[in-house]
Amino acid sequence: AAGVIQSPRHLIKEKRETATLKCYPIPRHDTVYWYQQGPGQDPQFLISFYEKMQSDKGSIPDRFSAQQFSDYHSELNMSSLELGDSALYFCASSSGLEYEQYFGPGTRLTVT
């Protein structure tokens, strides 16, 4: 079965640079979630979109923005990167009011 696709899988950036992470949900899923996971920590919710509209917002820094496009893929844009932004970024998708969220393989972002 098709899964959530994330790109790139690994990304190395320097401080103050920008990064764009992409997420392609499972086919026919209309809801996308972004989570940030630091080393040894639980995933922390950043933001979600349902039918291309922002549906929930968590502890996402103002330096980050995201959107969901007409084909339901989503992009997380991160600017003025800081060392503390180094983490695994997961995208998850679900279908409408279905409960289950399925996670992608993640993007490992390293800021040097």
Rule CB under 8 A: which residues touch other proteins?
31, 33, 35, 41-45, 48-51, 54-56, 58, 88, 90, 92, 96-97, 99-106, 108
> Which residue, chain included where needed, has tokens 């972004």?
34
Least separation in angstroms between residue 47's CB and other proteins is 9
CB 98 to other proteins: min, Å: 9
Which CB, 37 or 79, lies closer to other proteins?
37
| Rounded Cα distance, 46 and 60, in Å | 5
99 burial type by CB count under 10 A (0-12 exposed, 13-18 middle, 19+ buried): exposed
Measured from the CB atom, is 13 or 45 closer to other proteins? 45
Rank residues 9 and 16 by Cβ distance to other proteins and give the closer one: 9
